[in-house]
Amino acid sequence: MAGSSAEQPGAEEVFDLIVIGAGSGNSIPSPEFADRRIAIVDDGRWFGGTCLNAGCIPTKMFVRPAEIAREAREGGRLGLAADSVRLDWAAVRDRVFGRTDSISRSGEEYRESGERNVSLVRETVRFTGPRTLVTESGRILRGERIVIGAGSRPRELELLPFGGSVFSSDDALRLDALPQRLAVLGGGVVASEFAAIFSAFGAEVVQANRSPLLRSLDGEVSESFNRIAARNWRVETDAALESAEHGEGGWRLGFANGAAVEVDAVLVAVGRVPNSDRLDTAAAGFDHHEDGRIEVDAHQRVLAGGRPLEGVYALGDVSSPHQLKHVANHDARVVAANLLAESEGRALVENTLGPVPSTIFSWPEIAVFGSTLEEARAAGADALEVRQDYGGTAWGWALEDEESFCKLVVDRGSGALLGAHIIGPDAPILLQPLLQAASFGAGVRGLARGQYWPHPAATEIIENALLQAEAELTASAPSQSQEDD
């Protein structure tokens, strides 16, 4: 059976594989699974998951014009006078979603009618057993194999439920018009990216959070980000929301630090909730973390009573501590490999890929992986840290950049890269050679001088950081006479 036509309510429909969620899980049904009867179940407003429709992709498509406008407005230090740069909200919005919405529609149309072995079920479902689901219309779906990739959703505040001029990141970029005054509640990645976008487009933005912004990052990185953010939009910290009143003039919000703001709209970005509760996964007997994520083993198999359920897998935000598309994509590759391995009697593969990079496309950009110095030492490592400022390189001179920097955390004995923390232009790109070295077990010794670094390019920031780290290792290594003693 192909397509999304409903069967008779109450009649059990049996599939070889049911995939719940059309995000990263949608990549699993491939030619290798052409001999299996598959159901893809998804009730999202848009087909294709958060990243395509409301997250990674559209936000970065807004980030790019926002960066250009901000760089032009701040170009005085480079001799550039462009104070009157104006961004057209509607034009950017229509360009972005003209592309992503067409991809979403074509993906849904293909899954609905493009494959004889695939059925698309565009309904809400809930578990009634480990391999049995019931849809909102009463259809009963049973899968010999189940993959749960249902993702997560924005967390709602009791004082400010979503609706009207209070919205989440799902709807923020689809607004009919740019709000003149906007409050962004939250201090994490999503809130910090959206505050940068809206302020660059010309909105008066206040970002409020109960603690410093991005407080989980390296201390110097977080401190630098908070300082630069406060120059570009209003930042309120120690600002837990205490009151919210709506009137003709918009919203009046009161915070624990005594601050009060009046705004036209509010973007609530205070975290995300795994969608396991909407699937009633507890009814299936699955194990869960305290935050609601489904517990899985190293093969991505769902746990029940601490033991893995054969043929039941979970991936992405619904199970992972990393709410990142690149992590969900790799989870999906592991799951696909194990589904095939099960049917062919081969050993399952483990999800051991690491370390995990995290990037923040705010102003400025940030990219990190691994441990801070404090975390590494707390874990028992004899670690050292080096810092390379952008301003210490020719590319930094070209940028007139006196604030951006890269920090490396290195194991003193092995020279292994334990972490990297970059804040500044192109931070995600600059992180990659360090991530590659750490992923393949290459320590810092010889990494800088064992290859050419284009001059004068931004990558010299990384080269110089590696040279510093190697010098520190050499200086702290015991001499031969000390070893002899």
> For the segment 291-345, what is each residue's pLDDT rounded down to a tens digit?
999 999 999 999 999 999 999 999 999 999 999 999 999 999 999 999 999 999 9
**248 and 278 housed in the same domain:** no
CB atoms within 10 A of CB 398: 12
CA distance 348 to 350: 7
Predicted local confidence at residue 2, as pLDDT? 45
CA atoms within 13 Å, Cβ hemisphere of 94: 7
With the C-alpha atoms ordered 337, 343, 344, 345, is the resulting torsion angle positive or negative?
positive
Same domain as 51, residue 79: yes
265 and 278 assigned to the same domain = no
Q: What are the structure tokens assigned to 107, written together?
A: 């993906």
Does some domain include residue 41?
yes
User: Does one domain contain both 81 and 139?
Assistant: yes
The continuous run of DSSP H or E covering 317 comes out as: none
- Do 237 and 377 fall within a single domain? no
Mean per-residue pLDDT, 474-479? 80
Q: Give the integer Cα–Cα distance in Å for 20 and 250.
A: 39
* 13 within 8 A of 95, measured Cβ to Cβ: no
Q: Which amino acid is at 115?
A: E
Which pLDDT band, with edges at 50, 70 and 90, does 476 fall under? confident
Average pLDDT taken over every residue of the chain: 95
Domain containing residue 71: CATH number: 3.50.50.60
Q: Are residues 238 and 372 in the same domain?
A: no
Strands (E), 99-160: 118-121, 125-129, 132-135, 140-148, 152-154
How many CB atoms neighbour CB 346 within 10 A? 11
End-to-end CA distance of the chain: give it in Å, rounded. 78
The answer to whether residue 91 is domain-embedded is: yes
Distance CA 378, CA 35 (A): 51
Residue finishing a domain among 270, 297, 314: 270
Q: For the domain that residue 391 is a member of, what is the CATH number? A: 3.30.390.30
Continuous segment of H or E residues that includes residue 375: helix 373-378
Beta-carbon neighbour count of residue 298 at 10 Å?
12
Neighbours of 103 (CB within 10 A): 15
Supply φ then ψ for residue 294, to 5 degrees. Answer: -75, 135
Segment 34-57 mean pLDDT: 97
Examine the domain organization and report whether 81 and 204 are in the same domain.
no
Residue 483 lies in a domain: no
In a domain, 382, yes or no: yes
Tell me, yes or no, whether 24 and 147 share the same domain.
yes
User: Of 253, 270, 287, which residue constitutes the final position of a domain?
Assistant: 270
Residue 137 lies inside a defined structural domain of this protein: yes
470 has a pLDDT exceeding 70: yes
pLDDT in tens, 386-430: 999 999 999 999 999 999 999 999 999 999 999 999 999 999 999
Q: Are residues 389 and 465 in the same domain?
A: yes
In this predicted structure, the answer to whether residue 481 has a pLDDT above a threshold of 70 is: no
> Which residues make Cβ contacts (< 8 Å) with residue 274, sequence separation at least 6?
150, 151, 152, 291, 292, 293, 294, 317, 318, 319
What pTM did the predictor assign?
Answer: 0.94
Do 286 and 140 lie in one domain? The reply is yes
Tell me: do 400 and 334 sit in the same domain. Answer: no
Calpha distance 62→64 (Å, rounded): 6
Domain assignment present for residue 245? The answer is yes
What tokens does 341 get? 């391995």
Residue type, 2: A
Instruction: Examine the residue annotation and report whether 455 is marked as an active-site residue of this protein.
Output: yes
For the cut 80, the answer to whether the pLDDT of residue 7 exceeds it is no
Coil, strand, or helix at residue 348?
coil
Q: Model confidence at 479, in pLDDT bands (50, 70, 90)?
A: low
Say yes or no: 150 and 283 in one domain.
yes
Among residues 296, 316, 344, the one where a domain terminates is 344
Question: How far is it, in rounded angstroms, from Cα 253 to Cα 426?
Answer: 35
- For residue 126, pLDDT over 90 is answered with yes
Choose the catalytic residue: 246, 288, 421, 455. Answer: 455
Angle between helices 89-113 and 56-73 (to 10 degrees): 160
Residue 349 belongs to a domain:
no
Q: Find the domain containing 406 and state its range.
A: 364-477
Alpha-carbon gap, residue 464 to 482, rounded angstroms: 29
Cis peptide before 355 (omega within 30 of 0): yes
Token match 């205490």: residue? 242
- Structural domain total, the chain: 3
Rounded to whole angstroms, the Cα distance separating 276 from 319 reads 9
Work out the number of other CB atoms within 10 angstroms of the CB of residue 123.
18
Q: Where are the alpha helices (DSSP H) in 114-248?
A: 169-172, 189-201, 219-232
Report the pLDDT averaged over residues 454-468.
Answer: 97
Tokens of 254: 């009161």
Residue 354 lies in a domain: no
C-alpha–C-alpha distance, residues 329 and 309, integer Å? 22
